[in-house]
């Protein structure tokens, strides 16, 4: 870092703006909260007083030339990027920008199938064709891992015309691929590397954690500051490497981004970036300690398996993010989603997500040992009261997809609605997924199989929150008319 990271240009401009007592005859119409007292009472006057519109002293997110531009330069410096964009549409907007900036209609993009829905959504928008690399599966844990380098190389050689490779760094569960190796391989074949770092903000500030995308030489990275970085929900960074044209990327961002970017979100990014740049090492050291402590305690309960570095295999689990408290629940005889529901309904504990075989508890600098103790004790109680035989439990998540049409063609093409159990053999025209984690079970353009339908029924039965299809009850699915 070369710049003075204690500076917060947007924050400072807002402070000055408040002191100047400018009379507002512009939007927003609540006029510093005076026009909506109930909301002001709820969120606080300080908050409403800086919910303001773009103006000369505060810069403009669509075309930053002053304080936002300075704040972006500081962020780029803190993350070791060539350029950073402040994003207000969630990391979803960062991921979509990466894909739209890299691929036009008909272009190929190589990606693992266990990507977030936002990546495949971007394929619907851009018209790009997904080429999936089979992620490795951990049979014991039942989760998809990272991409094997050899598998990726094979895919690259089969698709030398692909424009980009998308990498999760890490996955929701904390699994990292060999991103440095992937970057070398991709660049050798003239492809861009796009990193989804929705779960990897902290990699940039703690040397004991896996390598960050920018350090590995990736071309773009979507970073969820609002997850481990501490900024407000919906705020995010898009980072660019040396070879990218920042002005072109800004044009892509402006295709879909609001022209009324929230200064609450922007200032939260500014303040959080400063905090991480100055205190990140210490913060994440503490988070690592808390997560390790929790893992040790959970592994002593019995049957639960809170996994960590020991799973590293130098390929599809190239590295592991030890701040992620992922716990396999299958030997307790309960699906992760069942443990997730019990924790909330019986013990008043809300965790990040539960899927078929695992739960993920989000640990941050805001936690204390005694909060972790509540989680551990509740898990011990759930085992004592609910432990069942493991028989009959589905133990894997991943089903290798058969892509029959591009997501765009399937989504916009002629479709008909069928009862879900009658759709085997058809090509799906929409998404079906459990949320969280939001990784599609079916994406537009994929062949529907009996296996997939059984999996959907199983997940629904266990209480997973399903989303995606036009039919909100998930009883019918839109499929493509005619054969592909």
Binding site for other proteins (CB under 8 A): 297, 346-348, 369-370, 373-374, 376-378, 380-381, 384-385
**Nearest CA-CA partner of 147 in 448, 309, 447, 156:** 156
Q: Closest CB to other proteins among 371 and 471?
A: 371
How far apart are CB 263 and other proteins at their closest, in Å? 34
**Nearest CA-CA partner of 257 in 71, 27, 85, 446:** 85
Beta bridge mates, 447? 427
How far apart are CB 376 and other proteins at their closest, in Å? 7
Q: Closest CB to other proteins among 314 and 384?
A: 384
How far, in Å, CA of 187 to CA of 170, rounded? 20
Q: Who's near 299: CB < 8 A, 6+ residues apart?
A: 305, 306
Return the structure tokens found at 30.
């609540």
How far apart are CB 351 and other proteins at their closest, in Å? 14
How far, in Å, CA of 217 to CA of 50, rounded? 37
Which DSSP string corresponds to 313-324?
-SSTT-EE-TTE
Q: Closest CB to other proteins among 34 and 286?
A: 286
Number of C-beta neighbours around residue 229 at 10 A? 24
Which DSSP string corresponds to 421-483?
GG-TTSBB-S-EEETTT--EEE-TTBBP-HHHHHHHHHHHHHT--EE-SSSTTSSEEEEESS-
The packing angle between helices 117-126 and 90-102, to 10°, is 40
Q: Closest CB to other proteins among 302 and 425?
A: 302
Q: Closest CB to other proteins among 278 and 380?
A: 380
How far apart are CB 274 and other proteins at their closest, in Å? 28
How far, in Å, CA of 223 to CA of 85, rounded? 10
How far apart are CB 380 and other proteins at their closest, in Å? 5
Q: Closest CB to other proteins among 125 and 380?
A: 380
Q: Closest CB to other proteins among 233 and 296?
A: 296
Distances (CA, A) of 259 to 89, 123, 305, 358: 11, 24, 47, 40
How far apart are CB 392 and other proteins at their closest, in Å? 27
How far apart are CB 463 and other proteins at their closest, in Å? 20
Q: Closest CB to other proteins among 242 and 388?
A: 388
Enter the DSSP assignment of 82: S
How far, in Å, CA of 132 to CA of 116, rounded? 13
How far apart are CB 381 and other proteins at their closest, in Å? 4
Q: Closest CB to other proteins among 137 and 349?
A: 349
3-state secondary structure of 156: helix
How far apart are CB 383 and other proteins at their closest, in Å? 11
483, 438 contact by CB (below 8 A): no
332, 435 contact by CB (below 8 A): no
Distances (CA, A) of 395 to 260, 352, 398: 46, 20, 10
How far apart are CB 352 and other proteins at their closest, in Å? 19
Distances (CA, A) of 244 to 49, 65, 102, 123, 374: 37, 19, 10, 20, 47
How far apart are CB 289 and other proteins at their closest, in Å? 16
Q: Closest CB to other proteins among 188 and 374?
A: 374
Tell me how far the alpha carbon of residue 133 is from its chain's centroid. 19
Q: Closest CB to other proteins among 46 and 374?
A: 374
Enter the DSSP assignment of 344: H
């Amino acid at each position: 870092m070369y710049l003075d990271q204690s500076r917060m240009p947007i924050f400072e401009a807002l402070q000055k703006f408040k002191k100047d007592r400018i009379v507002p005859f512009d939007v927003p119409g609540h006029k510093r909260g005076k026009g909506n007292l109930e909301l002001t009472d709820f969120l606080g006057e300080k908050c409403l007083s800086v919910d303001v519109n773009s103006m000369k002293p505060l810069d403009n997110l669509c075309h930053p030339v002053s304080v936002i531009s300075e704040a972006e330069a500081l962020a780029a410096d803190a993350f070791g990027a060539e350029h950073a964009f402040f994003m207000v549409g969630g990391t979803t907007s960062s991921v979509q920008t990466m894909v739209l900036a890299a691929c036009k209609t008909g272009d190929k993009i190589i990606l693992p199938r266990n990507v977030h829905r936002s990546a495949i959504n971007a394929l619907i928008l851009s018209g790009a064709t997904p080429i999936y690399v089979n992620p490795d599966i951990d049979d014991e844990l039942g989760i998809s891992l990272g991409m094997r380098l050899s598998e990726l190389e094979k895919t690259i050689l089969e698709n030398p015309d692909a424009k980009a490779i998308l990498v999760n760094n890490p996955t929701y569960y904390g699994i990292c691929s060999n991103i440095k190796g992937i970057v070398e391989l991709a660049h050798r074949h003239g492809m861009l590397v796009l990193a989804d770092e929705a779960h990897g903000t902290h990699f940039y500030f703690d040397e004991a954690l896996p390598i960050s995308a920018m350090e590995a030489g990736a071309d773009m990275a979507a970073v969820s500051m609002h997850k481990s970085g501490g900024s407000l929900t919906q705020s995010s960074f898009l980072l660019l490497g040396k070879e990218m044209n920042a002005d072109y990327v800004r044009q892509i961002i402006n295709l879909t981004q609001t022209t009324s970017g929230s200064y609450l979100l922007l200032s939260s990014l500014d303040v959080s970036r400063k905090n991480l740049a100055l205190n990140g090492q210490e913060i994440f050291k503490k988070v690592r300690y808390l997560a390790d402590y929790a893992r040790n305690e959970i592994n002593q309960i019995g049957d639960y398996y809170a996994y960590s570095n020991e799973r590293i295999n130098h390929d599809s689990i190239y590295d592991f993010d030890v701040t992620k408290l992922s716990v396999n629940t299958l030997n307790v005889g309960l699906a992760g989603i069942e443990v997730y529901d019990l924790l909330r309904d019986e013990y008043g504990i809300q965790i990040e997500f539960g899927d078929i075989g695992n739960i993920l508890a989000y640990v941050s600098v805001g936690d204390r040992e005694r909060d972790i103790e509540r989680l551990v004790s509740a898990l011990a109680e759930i085992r004592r009261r609910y432990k069942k035989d493991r028989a009959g439990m589905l133990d894997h998540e991943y089903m290798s997809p058969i892509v029959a049409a591009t997501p765009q063609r399937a989504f916009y093409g002629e479709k008909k609605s069928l009862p879900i159990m009658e759709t085997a053999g058809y090509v799906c025209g929409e998404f079906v997924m459990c949320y969280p984690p939001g990784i599609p079970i079916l994406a537009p353009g994929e062949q529907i199989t009996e296996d997939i339908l059984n999996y959907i029924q199983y997940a629904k039965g266990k209480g997973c929150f399903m989303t995606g299809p036009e039919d909100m009850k998930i009883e019918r699915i839109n499929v493509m008319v005619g054969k592909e």
